[in-house]
Amino acid sequence: MLKNIGSNWALSAIQIVMFLVLVPFVASSLGKNLYGAWEIIIGWTMPLQLLAMGIPMATVRHITSAVSAGDHKEADRVLGASLSLSIVVGLIALALGSVVYLIVSDYIFENENWSLSPAELKDAQQALLAMLLFVGSSFTLRLPYAIYDAHHDFVVRNLIQGGGFLLRFGLTLAALTVRPSTMVLASVLISVAVCEFLTASVVSSHRHNPMKVRPGPMEKKLVKKLFSFGIFAFLINMGALLAFKIDANVIGLFMTPIDVADYALGNKIFDQFITLLLAIGMVAMPMATKLWSEKDFNGVRVVFMKWSKIATSMVMLVGGYLVVLGPEFLEAWLSTDYTPRIGTVMQTLMISFFFFLPMRGVALPVLMGIGKTKGPGFGLLAMGLCNLALSLILVQHYGIYGVAVGTAVPNVVFALLFMYLACKHVEVPVDDYLKYSVQRSIFGALPALGFLALMKYQVGVEGWLLVLVSGVVYTAIFIVCQLFFVYKDDPYTDPLALIKQKLEARRS
């Protein structure tokens, strides 16, 4: 499991490096007007992906169960039905896309608050059409990865995705240098997705015999089985969309493209942060499914406790830095595109993610893996609806700060709910969970946070050099505290004991 999660983290590292280079490059190349338009395009096309109704997640779960039972014929039937369903859903998404196009083109891009030139308006409209086509085909294009997840073949899957990331990185830099346009960005996304689909399908046909990526009959019983699980995966995806991806749309209805761009730049860092935690969840869910189907309930508890603590440590490491020196980092990173309110938005959101991210990274995938889908499904949907309602109210009085608060408050409330549900279903007392996963992690982070506060308020941190040096020293202090305090004598994960065992094994 550690090797698979490690490969996911390696993939996330590639994404983060790309992200650090591409975001300021794209924002600077497009200008804030077109960059704001691009965020609106993403924000309005994303909801169409919810039409998948959780089919990819349901496919992973049912193929995993079939493969674990040695029933490869059933696994192939599930994949074929899922692919056929994805094609049908894609066609429905394309039909609904015409409505989305009219709303965005007529009521947002041509809104009096927006100041797009005729050339910018035409470019944004073309990009919107291209992204609607991309979303309609994305259900099918992403499905081959379900085979890799179900077979726990994460290393090879990540190599393919990593190749796609590098291709996207190179194409974006080259294409935007020649022609800064949102249509260029959309074209790059489509080209890379098609390349990944073809590569993943060919490689899978050799590694996962006899499974083939091809449409199959949509048998009523099988479709019902997929949707019975998928409906709750859909609710989770809907909640996540409303909670984290709809904010640009809310701001775009009441404010200018510059406001959309500033909020997006303050929120953008969390896409990569969440990816680091989801790297755990992508492995934890099928692993929990496997252990649960084998009646190894203690094994599920070990997965939950062990990886919850690791997730909490990761959140404390990155989140602690962002809360203290986040504005300084953003100013050095974004340069002339930075404004102080971008840093305030980021800090407000980060405080809430201390609570929410460990739940999203571990607790929710474990619950989904053991089939306890109702709580996470309805809970995350309620969280998203609360975010939407609060943001719509607060944006009219407090602008983008109101949207940040409208997102942060539900994050905290529902994180506590998810923690309770996870502890209940895996039979771990909440007190034991907090003592093991949270208590030591907080105390272990204090020395490193104290160093950052000293640098910020006594030395002053300005420019890339001090931002980088502060981050490196902070990370070193944090890791030392983790090794010699947080994880010392840990019953599930003790790095020092593991290193000692390996050294003794080599000597012998």
Residue 450, pLDDT score: 95
Positive or negative torsion for Cα 350, 352, 354, 359: negative
Q: Mean pLDDT across the stretch 175-187?
A: 93
Average pLDDT over residues 488-500: 79
Asked if residue 142 has pLDDT above 90, the reply is no
Amino acid at 343: G
What average pLDDT score do residues 436-458 get?
92
pLDDT band at 73 (very low <50, low <70, confident <90, very high): confident
Average pLDDT over residues 73-82: 76
pLDDT in tens, 335-353: 888 899 999 999 999 999 9
Predicted confidence band of residue 467 (pLDDT cuts 50, 70, 90) = very high
**Report for 236-240, 262-266, 504-508: range of highest mean pLDDT:** 262-266
The residue among 432, 433, 407, 414 whose CA lies nearest residue 375 is: 414
Token digits of residue 233: 């995966």
pLDDT of residue 320: 94
CB 131 within 8 A of CB 41: yes
203-220, pLDDT tens digit by residue?
887 887 766 667 766 777
- Is-contact 359 418, C-beta < 8 A? yes
Confidence of residue 429 (pLDDT cuts 50, 70, 90): very high
| C-beta of residue 216 within 8 angstroms of C-beta of residue 80 | yes
Please identify which residue in the block is written with the tokens 């860092």: 269
- Are the C-beta atoms of 366 and 291 separated by less than 8 Å? no
Positive or negative CA dihedral for 457, 463, 468, 469?
negative
pLDDT on residue 373: 75
For 290, residues 6+ apart whose C-beta sits below 8 A from its C-beta are 64, 68
> How many Cα atoms are found within 13 Å in the side-chain-facing hemisphere of 338?
15
What is the identity of the amino acid at 427? E
Query: For the ranges 45-49, 72-76, 247-251, 330-334, which has the lowest average pLDDT?
Result: 72-76
DSSP 8-state symbol, 255: S
Whether the pLDDT of residue 395 is over 80: the answer is yes
Top-ranked range on mean pLDDT: pick from 354-358, 412-416, 449-453? 449-453
Region 340-369 average pLDDT = 90
Which residue has better confidence, 43 or 328? Answer: 328
> How big, in percent rounded to 5, are the helix, strand and coil portions of the chain?
85, 0, 15
Instruction: Give the C-alpha separation, 456 to 11, whole Å.
Output: 32
Share above pLDDT 90 across residues of the chain, in percent, rounded to a whole number: 30
Torsion of CA 189, 191, 197, 199, to 10 degrees: -120
The CA-to-CA distance between both ends of the chain, in Å, stands at 27
CB–CB of 38/349 below 8 Å?
no
d(CA 366, CA 481): 28
Asked whether 34 and 184 are in contact (CB, 8 A), the reply is no
Residue 430: band (very low, low, confident or very high) from pLDDT cuts 50, 70, 90: very high
pLDDT of amino acid 226: 66
Unique residue bearing structure tokens 């308006």? 121
Confidence at 448, pLDDT banded by 50, 70, 90:
very high
Stronger pLDDT, 505 or 101, i.e. the higher one:
101
Q: What is the mean pLDDT of residues 263-290?
A: 80
* Average pLDDT over all residues of the chain: 84
Calpha distance 165→182 (Å, rounded): 18
Q: What is the mean pLDDT of residues 461-473?
A: 91
pLDDT in tens, 184-201: 999 999 999 999 989 988
Rounded mean pLDDT of 27-56?
Answer: 80
